[in-house]
Amino acid sequence: SFPACVNLSASGCWSCLSWRKRRETCFSETFNGSISLFSPVKDREERHLQDLKRSIPAGLGLSQTQITSHGVESKEGVFEASPFQGSLSTPRSPVISPSSTAASRLARQGDDLNDPSADRQVAQQISGPVVLSEDPRSTAVEKFELVRRWSLNTYKCTRQILSEKLGRGSRTVDLELEAQIEILRDNKKKYEQVLKLAQTLSTQLYQMVQTQRQMGDAFADLSLKSLELHEEFGYNAETQKLIAKNGETLLGAINFFISGVNTLVNKTIEDTLVTVKQYESARIEYDAYRTDLEELNLGPRDANTLPKIEQSQQLFQAHKEKYDKMRGDVSVKLKFLEENKVKVLHNQLVLFHNAIAAYFAGNQKQLEQTLKTFHIKLKTPGVDAPSWLEEQ
């Protein structure tokens, strides 16, 4: 509220002595007779600037900052004075609250501008990801090195193969092992031929059994319709059915023989031949690096060639160890293969002989006994195999 002694003078200023001392505050008449209040701008500016000075560190002066608004500009900053919109009892002035967060940000900015260590920190932050960017490069270098080694090894092996075929290069030969490998490959071809013939015999026997079964059904039907030839058709029907049954038994024995020979040829022997191929590749690499070492040893020995000779000696020794290891593996596998082959083929050949002899001799009991000896179960036509639950 205004003091009781307040009066308006003709000049528009307050006549009170206490209010005259503060000439910054005044009431003026507007054109329409209303009164507008201007707050004590200068006094309030000084108080707020003092608050800002206390909140801002000593290293940063107000001269380094600028508070911008749309009002009147002063030496330290620019402030805005808005017109009075409230009651006369509550004068309104622009209030700038001191903010510790803003002051700390300004202080950090000022310190960064003056502190050279900030530049080093920024440089460290910028240079940090560079370490991570070296990983793809190192990976590419490793891949390139692998490709280079593979290309060099392939070139040397190809040169060694061509030299051997042209008769210019020497090769390492194990006469005993090479003879066993040649016998194995020759036997594999012969076993494959036997397997192919056995499969042809099985197919033809199956067709014959089907034909005999159909003939037996036809004779049985005619025996019922022809009363005069009832007995003759009946005898032939029984004979054809019996032959078809024995043929199915023989067919089971032949299929068992085919399965055993197929396992021997396409799995056991093939696995050994894969090891033989690895042995031959190791032998070619060994001879290729041996030839390189011999060529370097025949040349001059100086500061440039000695490191190459030492490196070639290390590579030669590594491939020699690999070659010796593969040669030992092939020898062991050939030995086990021979033992397994004798055992498997002995049983299969006995089965095949007894089944064929009993079938063509018409000895049904001996044929069935042969299948029982080798634990062969025939699949009954029209009956599905038992499930695993029924077998349990």
pLDDT tens sequence across 173-189: 889 999 999 999 999 99
- What is d(CA 177, CA 175) in angstroms, rounded to the nearest whole number? 6
Judgement on whether residues 194 and 296 belong to the same structural domain of the protein: yes
Task: Give the global pTM.
Answer: 0.57
The continuous run of DSSP H or E covering 386 comes out as none
Q: Count up the domains in the chain and report the number.
A: 4
323 and 311 within one domain: yes
State the pLDDT at residue 193.
Answer: 95
Interior/surface letters 146-155, b for 16+ CB within 10 angstroms, e for the rest: eeeeeeeeee
305 domain-assigned? yes
Taking only the tens place, the pLDDT of each residue in 69-93 is 344 444 444 444 444 444 444 444 4
Q: What is the pLDDT of residue 143?
A: 85
pLDDT of residue 230: 86
Residue 57's alpha-carbon distances to 51, 76, 103, 131, in angstroms, are 12, 16, 8, 38
Q: Is residue 128 part of a domain?
A: no
Residue 169's pLDDT is 77
Q: Which residues of 317-348 are buried (b: 16+ CB within 10 A; e: fewer)?
A: eebbebbeebbebbeebbeebeeebeeebeeb
* pLDDT mean for each 10 residues of the chain (392 residues): 44 46 44 44 63 57 43 41 44 49 55 50 48 67 84 83 82 89 94 94 94 92 87 90 91 92 93 93 89 84 84 88 92 92 90 90 85 72 49 46
Distances (CA, A) of 144 to 156, 285, 311: 18, 21, 20
Do 298 and 150 share a structural domain? no
φ and ψ of 108, to 5 deg: -65, -40
Asked if 234 and 361 sit in the same domain, the reply is yes
Do 371 and 358 lie in one domain? The reply is: yes
| 71 and 158 together in one domain | no
pLDDT at site 182: 94
For residues 217 and 238, what is the distance between their CA atoms, to the nearest angstrom? Answer: 9
If asked whether residues 311 and 185 sit together in one domain, one would say: yes
Per-residue pLDDT at 171: 82
Q: How confident is the model at residue 122, as a pLDDT?
A: 46
| Domain containing residue 232: CATH number | 1.20.1270.60
Show the tokens assigned to 376.
């062969």
Q: What is the pLDDT of residue 47?
A: 72
Domain interval for residue 30:
1-38
**Are residues 221 and 187 part of one domain?**
yes
